[in-house]
Amino acid sequence: MPATKRRCGVLLHPTSLPGREGIGTLGSNAYQFIDFLSSAGMSLWQMLPLSPPACGNSPYSAFSAFAGNPLLIDLEQLVEQGDLSPSSLDDGQTGVPSRVDFAAVSAIKPSLLASAAQTFLTAGRSTQMEEFWHFCDTTPWLHDYALFTALHRRYRGRPWNRWPRDAALLTHDMYESASVALGEEIGIQKYIQWRFHQQWNDLHRYAKQCGIGLIGDLPIFVAYDSVDVWRNRHLFLLDQAGKPTAVAGVPPDYFSKTGQLWGNPLYDWAAMARDDYRWWVERFRHILNMFDTVRIDHFRGFEAAWHVPAGQRTAVRGRWVAGPGAQLFDRVQDALGRLPVIAEDLGIITPAVEELRDRYCFPGMKILQFAFGSGPDNPYLPHNHIRNSVVFTGTHDNDTTVGWAQAIGADTRDHCCRYLGSNGSNPAEDLIRIALMSVAGTAILPFQDLLGLASPSRMNVPGNAFGNWEWRFEWDGVSGRLADEYAALLHRYGRFNADSKQKS
């Protein structure tokens, strides 16, 4: 959906916010970050998926495409609401301020949330209880998620295909009996999701009041060990036992001789078409209720996806299989109207993918770290940008710009410096300036680049199983002049948000 005015935003996942709970939350520091964005004249805050992470703590591998991450819940608000004692805040402190210790946070916070749920559910405060039951009654995905999570706990975290057969394949009798037997745990999980969505909705309203739009992230694929696959096996390419017959990935390319084997189950698009793409309509409806704009990760998979036969150790022996293309997006737009989408169109992009993207006027992505070291036709070079696109210095999968500049070869560095008319002494500042100058309607800057941070502060190293998603910043590292400096820059390059509520 083309931007009507030049805008700028910042990429920062809420887990990276400061705070004393060992992980960033939807609490006071999130509000302070919105204040910072507003004071800087920014228009947008882009985040990674907010789903509860599964494998490797990755927000792109989640137990649910609909539920919120319980670790993001702010405990201070639960104390204010009477669900936790003030001493609980001391119990919830953990980790090193500059990194998320997921193991420590996951060992402490869920028990505090369960305690808060039990306090609330036994106290029976009338007005809030009515709000809670309304949420339960009007949230169609909630019971399945709560039941899945309760069963996951019962079976000690084993993936659903390793549960007893009647639970794994979920017979009607098992669904009914487990819903009764696990009622207490199901109630706890419903409370946790209610509080998450309360806190999120409050934060979203505050962002709107400050003139800040929120950009969410919708991964095309879901995790195998998720409620989405467990409850919708007929919509995925699985065998009679519920095991994938093929998994997702990307083919060999310049970056990897064996491709990337992601391992996600693949959709049975024919079955989804017979169901009128209802699951996708509801997924888009849910995320667009939470966010103002949505970035679709691996957009090209809707045109065709790389199918790797199950059991392969690499992605070499895959094949391209056609996706639903326009049929799906037409159906979603019929139900929801025009979609405010950013298409992640990186990697192997064919004319058919570009045609699908352009059919709906979805802006694509231009990554400046990919621009240098080749000829003038490189599509990521600023002189090749188009207005209906979003320019980034880098994404969550890239190194920070300072780290990138330290790692590139001499020829690429020379090309970059000559192109930018720079001596290369401040690469983050150089790429930010050229992003703001770009004709692209929207510019998104990772917060690490605003702070001029090096490689230890990058968010993710694709292919590495450990150490990702942990970076956090501290307010002490944010210059008091930074907001004013960026307000001046955004004025200079026509991206200042006149609707922002600047702080005096």
Positions marked catalytic? 297, 344, 397
Angstrom distance (rounded) from CA 298 to CA 301: 6
498 Cβ contact partners less than 8 Å away, ≥ 6 residues apart: none
Among 168, 269, 175, 182, which Cα is nearest to 225's? 168
194 contacts 135 by C-beta, under 8 angstroms? yes
Residue 313 dihedral angles phi and psi, to the nearest 5°: -90, -15
CA angle 232, 237, 240 (to 5 degrees): 80
Considering only CA atoms, give the Rg of the chain.
23
- Distance from C-alpha of 33 to C-alpha of 46, rounded to nearest angstrom: 12
The DSSP-derived string for 54-100 is -GGG-TTSBS-SSS--GGGS-HHHHHHTTSS-TTHHHHT--S-TTB-
Contact assessment for residue 329 and residue 252, using Cβ atoms and an 8 Å cutoff: no
CA dihedral 143, 144, 148, 154 (to 10 degrees): 40
As given in the structure block, the two tokens for residue 461 are 């190293």
Helix (H) or strand (E) holding 278: helix 278-290
Sole residue written with tokens 């050229």: 434
Residue 240: count of CB within 10 angstroms of its CB: 7
The residue type found at 345 is D
Phi/psi at 246 (nearest 5 deg)? -155, 155
How many residues belong to the chain? 504
Closest CA to 59 of 219, 247, 199: 219
d(CA 482, CA 488): 10
User: Which class for 499: exposed (0-12), middle (13-18), buried (19 or more C-beta within 10 A)?
Assistant: middle
Do the Cβ atoms of 391 and 440 come closer than 8 Å? yes
Ramachandran region, residue 263 (left: φ > 0; alpha: ψ -120 to 50; beta: rest): left
The shares of helix, strand and coil residues in the chain, as percent rounded to the nearest 5, are: 45, 15, 40
Residue 6: strand, helix, or coil: coil
Q: Looking up tokens 């487990």, which residue turns up?
A: 178
User: What is the secondary structure of 147-160 as a DSSP string?
Assistant: HHHHHHHHTTT--G
